[in-house]
Structure 1
Amino acid sequence: MFWGHLDVLRAAIVKSLLVAGVFGVAAFCFKEELFAVILAPKDANFITYRLLYSFSGLVMEVGASDFLVKLINTGLVKQFIIHMKAALCAGILCASPYILYQLFRFVSPALYVNERKYMVWVVGGGYAMFALGVSVSYFLIFPLTFRFLGTYQVSGEVENMIALQSYISTLMTMSLAMGLVFEIPILSWLFAKLGLLSDGFMRKYRKHAVVVILVVAAIITPTSDVFMLSLVALPMWLLHEISILMVHRTG
């Protein structure tokens, strides 16, 4: 029985790796399209900047040189390595629904019917919230952070030229961090279902949660700027309040 389960698990892992590999190779081949997405937030005509200008009443033509930050490469093989890493991450991201499906197929035979239902909600909801968190980071938090740090100068004589590796690392770190942060409602719902969390407990320690949120936001935010700190902390606070409502309805 044990070896049978091991064979099923091995088959699921192999299939997941093959699908991720196919998507990764495809992403590697479509280099221009891949990095057009990755490097988009550094351009002045990125959708976030255009919307902010529109909301603030400023007039800006698409493609106008409102700010310019140059990305540079500082190593002989770093661009190729970054290309491979980006393609690998893109492949895993594209294959993630299939990977989750394979894991669910492996685990579901050992679950009761009601447990399978909860598993679907946790996995599906967790995936959706993670994707939402990554989107918030990509379209809102990272562009504003990059613009602030990329254009900040201690003197006009010092020109900003950001290393490509630093850009990619910051983008991936912030995206992963926000994706995990957006799992708060799903985890709260799961803990409430298991009887480990109540809305009364969360309301009682709401002020403590705000302090924790500010600390985590300060760690995630690569700058001490109050605006950036608030930009990260606000979604986290909203997620905490949504979690309280979800736990209350669960109870």
Structure 2
Amino acid sequence: MSENKLIKAIKEKGQSMEAEMSFFDHLEALRWHLVRSAIAIVIFTGGAFYFYDFIFGTIIMGPAKPSFWTYRMLCKLGEWLHRDGFCINDIKINLINTEMAGQFTLQINSSLLIGITLGFPYLLWEIWRFIKPALHEKERKAASGFVVYATFLFILGVLFGYFVITPESINFLAGYTVSDKIQNLFSIDSYISSVATLTLATGVVFELPILVYILSSLGVLTAKFMRETRRYAVVVILIIAAIVTPTPDMMTMTVVSIPLFILYEVGILVSAVVEKRKKAREEAL
């Protein structure tokens, strides 16, 4: 009897050791995926640091120039509608640096932000490579376009934030004054922080359909629930649009809200498709 207990204990110990080894093996695999992602981000950061004159003058400072693409398109829109007030000929923005190592730190931090942005698709690909072996064949086929869709939505969000939200916000905030006695002098850190936040935050928000897909696959979210709560979603979207765009005009708020409404409706379709596939698998079983 005691011998059987001993054998059973040895087997249980062996199974626990095997589970621990499997867990540490997964951690080791994840570590290398993250290391490769970090290397890619470092390479992109180094490239951004090397070409920083072009990046700073053309990309970072672009929304602060009247010649920016968005302002030119607004001017053409005003001409097409035969209305004044659309053209922006001057942006009153004065940038200063208040720290000894401020400009050097600025170059490093902004290069790192650009490196993370450019390396984000590769990071998604590495995450997909880590998750893929744990999925069944049908799950792999269903999620095969994860990296492509997530990258596309992120880039679309970044472009929307950079060309629509950022210039409108900068144009409004740069010229906004409470009193003529107060002069607007913005630190370069504050300016870059605003540009980066508005741009990258929009890229993350545009990942909403991917989040809906994951939650629907886990059974946490359903298309029926999203349809029933659509009226509340509209209020939340309007609040988000008001926070993201500090400009008081309804036109800018509407322009920001429309893509969010579209993303919500796309999320409903995605959730419905996931439910349909799950139901088909259950019927097949």
Q: TM-score, normalised by structure 1?
A: 0.86
Instruction: Indicate how the Cα distance of structure 1 residues 19 and 124 shifts in structure 2: closer, same or farther if over 3 A, else same.
Output: same
- Deviation larger for 166-175 or 108-117: 108-117
Matches within 5 A, 1:67-78: 67-78=91-102
Deviation at residue 10 of structure 1 after TM alignment? 2.5
| Relative contact order higher in (CA < 8 Å, ≥ 6 apart) | 1
- Secondary structure in structure 1 of the residue aligned to 2:145: helix
Rounded Cα–Cα distance in structure 1 between residues aligned with 2:268 and 2:36: 39
Partner of 1:4: 25
Deviations 1:104-152 (A, max 9, x none): 2222222212222333333331222122111100000110111011122
Rounded Cα–Cα distance in structure 2 between residues aligned with 1:195 and 1:177: 27
**8 Å CA contact 1:108, 1:116 repeated in 2:** yes
**5+ long unaligned stretches in structure 1:** none
Partner of 2:133: 109
Partner of 1:56: 78
Instruction: Indicate how the Cα distance of structure 1 residues 45 and 218 shifts in structure 2: closer, same or farther if over 3 A, else same.
Output: same
Partner of 1:192: 216
Instruction: Indicate how the Cα distance of structure 1 residues 43 and 206 shifts in structure 2: closer, same or farther if over 3 A, else same.
Output: same
Deviations 1:172-216 (A, max 9, x none): 111222122212222223333444333332222211111121222
- Pick from 15, 20, 44 the counterpart of residue 23 of structure 1: 44
Larger Rg: 2
Instruction: Indicate how the Cα distance of structure 1 residues 81 and 132 shifts in structure 2: closer, same or farther if over 3 A, else same.
Output: same
**8 Å CA contact 1:145, 1:228 repeated in 2:** no
Q: How many pairs does the alignment contain?
A: 248
- Secondary structure in structure 1 of the residue aligned to 2:210: helix
Matches within 5 A, 1:169-208: 169-208=193-232
- Deviation larger for 120-129 or 218-227: 218-227
Instruction: Indicate how the Cα distance of structure 1 residues 219 and 111 shifts in structure 2: closer, same or farther if over 3 A, else same.
Output: same
Partner of 1:38: 60
Rounded Cα–Cα distance in structure 1 between residues aligned with 2:141 and 2:71: 41
- Secondary structure in structure 1 of the residue aligned to 2:143: helix
**8 Å CA contact 1:122, 1:190 repeated in 2:** no
**8 Å CA contact 1:213, 1:236 repeated in 2:** yes
Q: Which stretches of structure 1, 4 residues or longer, exceed 6 Å deviation after superposition?
A: none
**8 Å CA contact 1:27, 1:90 repeated in 2:** yes
**5+ long unaligned stretches in structure 2:** 1-20, 277-285
**8 Å CA contact 2:97, 2:187 repeated in 1:** yes
Residue 108 of structure 1 aligns to which amino acid in structure 2?
Answer: K
- Pick from 74, 88, 111 the counterpart of residue 87 of structure 1: 111
- Deviation larger for 80-89 or 5-14: 5-14
Deviation at residue 157 of structure 1 after TM alignment? 5.3
Deviation at residue 155 of structure 1 after TM alignment? 4.5
- Deviation larger for 34-43 or 111-120: 111-120
Deviation at residue 249 of structure 1 after TM alignment? 4.3
Partner of 1:139: 163
Rounded Cα–Cα distance in structure 1 between residues aligned with 2:273 and 2:204: 23
Deviation at residue 163 of structure 1 after TM alignment? 1.7
- Deviation larger for 139-148 or 225-234: 225-234
Rounded Cα–Cα distance in structure 2 between residues aligned with 1:12 and 1:193: 24
What is the root-mean-square deviation of aligned Cα atoms in Å?
2.6
Instruction: Indicate how the Cα distance of structure 1 residues 226 and 163 shifts in structure 2: closer, same or farther if over 3 A, else same.
Output: farther
Matches within 5 A, 1:156-235: 156=180, 158-223=182-247, 225-235=249-259
